[in-house]
C-alpha cells in the first residue's frame, strides 16, 4: 500500500533572471522552453545527491500553452533537459498561479505516496505570447453577464479594487511600490537574491551573445514624485499605473519537492516544510482580493491564525491587491514581515512562473529568521481566484 500522509518539503528552488517583455527585452530571441530547460538542469547541478531516475514527475506551468510554451511542456522540457526518458511530465494552467499549482499538485501526490520526489516549474514568455494570445472567450460570459466586462482585463480589476476599498488610495499604492523597489535594491546589494538566479546565455541577431545575470525590470531610485505623474492606462484619472503594478515579463522558475523521509535518506536540503494550501474564488472583477479567502481557508486547514504567521511573500501583481490583504488582517503597509526582499513590482511577474519565485524568497527569509516558525506564499489569480500555501521553517528555534 502507498504510504499516505507524509510530510512534504521544499528542497531547493531556482529561477532565471526576469526580463522585460518585448523586442528589446533580455529574452526577445530566447525560447520559452529553453528557459525551463535551464532551470531544470540547474536544479540537478545544484543537488548532485538527487539521482535523476528518482524523480517521479515533472509539472511545468504556462498560462499561454501554445508555440514554445505548448507541446505538454512538462514532458518536452524534461526530455530536453536530459532527464531519463522514464521520468514523466505534464502541463499546468492556473494563470498567475501556475507554478504554485504545479508545486501544490505534486506535493499532494507526494503526500499520498504516489511520488517520492517531483520537480515543479513555471514559465511565461509574455514577449512571445502576450496574455490572451489565441484565446476565444465564450460569448456567454458577457451575454449572460456571467462576469463583468472588466473582469478579463487585469488592470481594470485592480481599479475596481480601489473602488471597493476607497481607503486604498493611489498614494498608498505608490508608497508601497517605492518601498518594493527600495527593498529589492537592498536585497541585491546584500547578495540575497543572486544565489537563486541561474545565468542564462542570450543571443541577439544585432548584438551577438550575452549573459543574463540579474533581473531587468527593477527601477532603483524610484520616488513618489516620479510615480505621481505616470499615466493611468486603465481608466482616466485612475490609480493603477506602470509604477505601482508588475510589468510584462519573461522568465522561468523551478523547484524540487520531496517526501521528508526521502530527502533525509538522500541527504537533500529541507528549506521549508509544507503545512497546508488552499485556492479560493472571488468575483472575477475584483480578482486581486482572491488571496484573502484563500488565506482564510489555508489557515483553517492548518489550525493556525494570522498571528502565527511570521513572514509573508505576497505576489505584487498590483500594489492595491497586496494592500487589500494587509488591510483585511490589520497589517501595516510597511510591516517588515511582508516581502522583506521586495517583490514583483520591482523584479517582475512572468505570470505562471511567479508562484515558485515566492517560494524561493520565503525559503531565503526563513534562513535569515530562524525565530520564525510559519510563513505564507500567496497570490491573486486571473478570472477571480487566490492561492495561499503555508510553510513551516525547518530551522525555527521555537518550541513545538
Residues β-bridged to residue 245: 318
Q: Is the pLDDT of residue 400 over 50?
A: no
156-188 tens-digit pLDDT: 999 999 999 999 999 999 999 999 999 999 999
Residue 349 among the catalytic residues: yes
Average pLDDT, the chain: 95
CA atoms within 13 A on the CB side of 86: 6
User: Any idea which architecture 146-193+275-390 has in CATH?
Assistant: 3-Layer(aba) Sandwich (3.40)
User: In whole angstroms, what is the distance from residue 370 CA to residue 349 CA?
Assistant: 28
Q: Which residues contact 227 (CB under 8 A, 6 or more apart)?
A: 174, 177, 178, 241, 243, 244
Select which of 129, 349, 369, 396 is catalytic.
349
Q: Is the pLDDT of residue 126 over 80?
A: yes
Q: What is the mean pLDDT of residues 376-391?
A: 97
Select which of 96, 125, 162, 369 is catalytic.
96
Q: Is the pLDDT of residue 4 over 70?
A: no
Residue 96 among the catalytic residues: yes
Q: What is the mean pLDDT of residues 211-238?
A: 96
Rounded to 5 degrees, what are φ and ψ at 43?
Answer: -60, -45
Q: Would you say 397 and 371 are in contact if contact means Cβ atoms under 8 Å apart?
A: yes
88-100 tens-digit pLDDT: 999 999 999 999 9
Q: What is the mean pLDDT of residues 329-336?
A: 98
305-321 tens-digit pLDDT: 999 999 999 999 999 99
Q: Would you say 301 and 388 are in contact if contact means Cβ atoms under 8 Å apart?
A: no
Q: Is the pLDDT of residue 351 over 70?
A: yes
The answer to which of 51-60, 197-206, 344-353 has the lowest mean pLDDT is 197-206
Q: Is the pLDDT of residue 302 over 70?
A: yes
Residue 396 among the catalytic residues: no
Select which of 125, 162, 369, 380 is catalytic.
380
129-153 tens-digit pLDDT: 998 888 898 999 889 989 888 888 8
Q: Between the CA atoms of 247, 13, 282 and 131, what dihedral angle is there, to the nearest 10 degrees?
A: 40
Q: Where are the beta strands (DSSP E) in 149-261?
A: 200-204, 208-212, 249-259
Q: Is the pLDDT of residue 124 over 70?
A: yes
Q: State the pLDDT confidence band at 398, using cuts at 50, 70 and 90.
A: low
Q: Where are the beta strands (DSSP E) in 31-99?
A: 57-61, 89-92
Amino acid at each position: 500500500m502507498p504510504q499516505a500522509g507524509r510530510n512534504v518539503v521544499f528542497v531547493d528552488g531556482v529561477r532565471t533572471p526576469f526580463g522585460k517583455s518585448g523586442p528589446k527585452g533580455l529574452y526577445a530571441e530566447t525560447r520559452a522552453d529553453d528557459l525551463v530547460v535551464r532551470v531544470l538542469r540547474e536544479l540537478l547541478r545544484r543537488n548532485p545527491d538527487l539521482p535523476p531516475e528518482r524523480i517521479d514527475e515533472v509539472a511545468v506551468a504556462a498560462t499561454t500553452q501554445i508555440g514554445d510554451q505548448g507541446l505538454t511542456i512538462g514532458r518536452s522540457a524534461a526530455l530536453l533537459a536530459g532527464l531519463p526518458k522514464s521520468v514523466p511530465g505534464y502541463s499546468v494552467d492556473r494563470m498567475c498561479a501556475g507554478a504554485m499549482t504545479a508545486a501544490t499538485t505534486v506535493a499532494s501526490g507526494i503526500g499520498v505516496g504516489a511520488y517520492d520526489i517531483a520537480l515543479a516549474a513555471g514559465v511565461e514568455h509574455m514577449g512571445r505570447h502576450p496574455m490572451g494570445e489565441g484565446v476565444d472567450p465564450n460569448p456567454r460570459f458577457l451575454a449572460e453577464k456571467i462576469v463583468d466586462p472588466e473582469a478579463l482585463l487585469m488592470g481594470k480589476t485592480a481599479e475596481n479594487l480601489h473602488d471597493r476599498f476607497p481607503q486604498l488610495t493611489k498614494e498608498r499604492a505608490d508608497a508601497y511600490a517605492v518601498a518594493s523597489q527600495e527593498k529589492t535594491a537592498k536585497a541585491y546589494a546584500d547578495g540575497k537574491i543572486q544565489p537563486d538566479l541561474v545565468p542564462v546565455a542570450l543571443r541577439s541577431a544585432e548584438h551577438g551573445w550575452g549573459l543574463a545575470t540579474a533581473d531587468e525590470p527593477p527601477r532603483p531610485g524610484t520616488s513618489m514624485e516620479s510615480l505621481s505623474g505616470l499615466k493611468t492606462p486603465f481608466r482616466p484619472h485612475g490609480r493603477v499605473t506602470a509604477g505601482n503594478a508588475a510589468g510584462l515579463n519573461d522568465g522561468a522558475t523551478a523547484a524540487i519537492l520531496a517526501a521528508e523521509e526521502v530527502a533525509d535518506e538522500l541527504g537533500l536540503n529541507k528549506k521549508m516544510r509544507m503545512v497546508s494550501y488552499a485556492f479560493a474564488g472571488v468575483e472575477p472583477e475584483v480578482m486581486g482580493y482572491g488571496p484573502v479567502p484563500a488565506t482564510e481557508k489555508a489557515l483553517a486547514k492548518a489550525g493556525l491564525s494570522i498571528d502565527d504567521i511570521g513572514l509573508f511573500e505576497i505576489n505584487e501583481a498590483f500594489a492595491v491587491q497586496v494592500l487589500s490583504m494587509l488591510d483585511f488582517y490589520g497589517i501595516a503597509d510597511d510591516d517588515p514581515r511582508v516581502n522583506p526582499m521586495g517583490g514583483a513590482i520591482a523584479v517582475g511577474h512572468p505570470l505562471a512562473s511567479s508562484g515558485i519565485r515566492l517560494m524561493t524568497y520565503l525559503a531565503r527569509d526563513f534562513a535569515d529568521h530562524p525565530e520564525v516558525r510559519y510563513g505564507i506564499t500567496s497570490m491573486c489569480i486571473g478570472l477571480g481566484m487566490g492561492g495561499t500555501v503555508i510553510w513551516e521553517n525547518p530551522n525555527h528555534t521555537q518550541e513545538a
